[in-house]
Amino acid sequence: MTRFLCAIDGDPTIELAPRRLIIAGWAGRNRDEIEHHIAELVALGVKRPSSVPCFYEVSASLLTSDPHIDVIGTHSSGEVEAVLMHDATHGLLVGIGSDHTDRRVESYDVAVSKQVCAKPLGTTLWRFDEVAAHWDALVARSWRIDAAGERVRYQEGPLARLLPPQRLIGEAFGHAGLPVGTALFCGTQPVIGALCPSAAFEIELHDPVLGRSLRHRYAVASLVHVE
């Protein structure tokens, strides 16, 4: 079981140990934007989903707060997402994560592609109750950083573009709600330009109402194939 030392604003460091990890796909509210994201992936050979939204369960051991991840090849990229986590002691929490995905594998099997890469997660959290009333105003952003250190905006958009959290939880788990010990990635924003790999990614969830942000940055190392 993967364990994290996390900090909730105003509270001492706590330990979280998610037992399940669910990733929401095609979670937009606007059908045109969903079609845009589908088109981005169809251009890479990814099959259209049979329904939206959809949910992929992957190993919770993929969650990592390390400042770097290893990937196979040079065909993966990050996706900034708000993350909901239900902790037995602290209740429903909000974090920032990246659904880092192998795009080559995604072209022939989306579910497998979700399992191939680590899922970076920031270690500062908010209590969901503190942002529930202005959830739609939260802004998710990401940047790609190339080998020379150039930082380029990669994604940006309000969570109003995505299905609200209670709708996602209901679609995935019904009236029982988000199970204790579960982390739910809540969907991503459209890419500015083309999907592309990078030497590093930076992700942010900004709260313009309370004037604060969750941030995380991680480097990406491509494993070398040795004959």
Burial label, 10 (beta-carbon count in 10 A; 0-12, 13-18, 19+): exposed
- Written as six digits, the tokens of 2 are 């993967």
Asked whether the beta carbons of 120 and 176 are under 8 A apart, the reply is no
- Euclidean distance between CA atoms 98 and 120, whole angstroms: 5
Q: What is the pLDDT of residue 184?
A: 98
Q: What is the pLDDT of residue 225?
A: 59
CB crowding 159-190: b at 16 or more within 10 Å, else e: bebbbebeebbeebeeeeebeebbbbbbbbbe
Q: What is the pLDDT of residue 1?
A: 63
| Superfamily for domain range 15-223 | Fumarylacetoacetase-like, C-terminal domain (3.90.850.10)
Report the C-alpha dihedral over residues 27, 21, 59, 68, rounded to 10 degrees: 80
Rounded to two decimals, the pTM is: 0.92
Residue-level pLDDT, tens digit, the chain, 227 residues = 678 889 997 677 889 999 999 999 889 898 887 887 778 777 877 777 777 899 999 999 999 999 999 999 999 999 999 999 999 999 999 999 999 999 889 888 888 999 999 999 999 999 999 999 999 999 999 999 998 999 999 999 999 999 999 999 999 999 989 999 999 999 999 899 988 999 999 999 999 999 999 999 999 999 975 55
- Written as six digits, the tokens of 18 are 């998610």
- Residue 106: in which H helix or E strand, if any? helix 103-106
Q: How far is CA 191 from the centre of its chain?
A: 13
Domain segments of the chain as ranges: 15-223
Q: How far is CA 101 from the centre of its chain?
A: 10
Name the 3-class secondary structure at 98: strand
Q: What is the pLDDT of residue 43?
A: 80
